[in-house]
Amino acid sequence: MALGPRVRGWLGRWEPRAAAAYRALFFDVRSLARAAAAWTPATRILEIGCGEGALTDALADAYPTAQVTGIDVTPRVGRLSRANPARVAFRQVTLDAFWPDHAGTFDLAVICDVLHHVPRAARPHLLALAGRTLRPRGRLVLKDWARRPTPIHLMGYLGDRYLTGDRVRYASADELRALVAAAFGEGAIERELRLPPWANNLALFVKPRPGEREGAGA
């Protein structure tokens, strides 16, 4: 059962503020956008599983001259975005349907807090297709809520499970690293950060190894 639609109805015009405050309890989205911009320049950015646009907007701010595309399977894609539509575009589309027309296009692909909503067996495929959207020197940021035996982890699980209604499954930090190695080659993780306010927020900054960009696991 998903409580999200009911909660959104109750909040009315307060929803954007409430959504931002709720997210901030678990993750500072701006810290990821800033860390990405400090790591690599980019003029074309793809956010895969962008949801209502919180991180997409932060990416547009952190990369003030970039074109940012957010895609998601949800009909609410980009709904809470306040970004300039001349620079930020949203599409409701699967990555399977999107990538063939955008192969080798993006400098940077970002997948943030999506993987735990994706069935385990489908994760290698998602990463492999993300790699196919990248230009030859393109890079990828994979951020997820890594499983840890802490009270905040339980709160995060309950929020995800009952607000979205999804059967979420969190990977451990080692499982996330192994997924990246399988898709993009051993040694592809150039940088790894724990982002505020909780150590669960693990970001892997990935430079696919030559020959691995098209995704070994597709």
Ligand X SMILES: C[S@@+](CC[C@H](N)C(=O)[O-])C[C@H]1O[C@@H](n2cnc3c(N)ncnc32)[C@H](O)[C@@H]1O
Asked if 51 is part of the footprint of ligand X (rule: CB under 6 A), the reply reads yes
User: Coil, helix or strand for 27?
Assistant: coil
User: Coil, helix or strand for 194?
Assistant: strand
Beta bridge partners of 86: none
Show the CA angle centred on residue 62, arms to residues 56 and 68, nearest 5°.
40
Asked if 113 is part of the footprint of ligand X (rule: CB under 6 A), the reply reads yes
Would you say 45 or 210 has its CB closer to ligand X? 45
The sign one gets for the Cα dihedral 9, 55, 138, 197 is negative
Asked if 202 is part of the footprint of ligand X (rule: CB under 6 A), the reply reads no
Q: Pick from 71, 58, 148: which is nearest to 105 by CA?
A: 71
DSSP code of residue 14: G
Q: Which stretch binds ligand X (CB under 6 A): 80-88, 98-106, 108-116, 192-200?
A: 108-116
Would you say 170 or 184 has its CB closer to ligand X? 170
User: Cβ of residue 52: shortest distance to ligand X, in angstroms?
Assistant: 7
Asked if 60 is part of the footprint of ligand X (rule: CB under 6 A), the reply reads no
DSSP code of residue 12: G
Check: CB of residue 54 under 8 Å from CB of residue 32.
no
Would you say 96 or 186 has its CB closer to ligand X? 96
Residues 45, 55, 171, 202: which binds ligand X (CB under 6 A)? 55
Show the CA angle centred on residue 54, arms to residues 52 and 59, nearest 5°.
125
Q: Which stretch binds ligand X (CB under 6 A): 71-79, 151-159, 174-182, 189-197?
A: 71-79
Check: CB of residue 146 under 8 Å from CB of residue 200.
yes
Asked if 73 is part of the footprint of ligand X (rule: CB under 6 A), the reply reads yes
Mask for 156-195, x = binds ligand X (CB under 6 A): ----------------------------------------
| Residue 193 CB partners (closer than 8 Å, separation 6+) | 35, 202, 203, 205
Q: Which stretch binds ligand X (CB under 6 A): 37-45, 112-120, 147-155, 198-206?
A: 112-120
Would you say 148 or 209 has its CB closer to ligand X? 148
Asked if 114 is part of the footprint of ligand X (rule: CB under 6 A), the reply reads yes
Site residues (vs ligand X, CB under 6 A): 29, 48-51, 54-55, 72-74, 94-95, 112-114, 117-118, 126
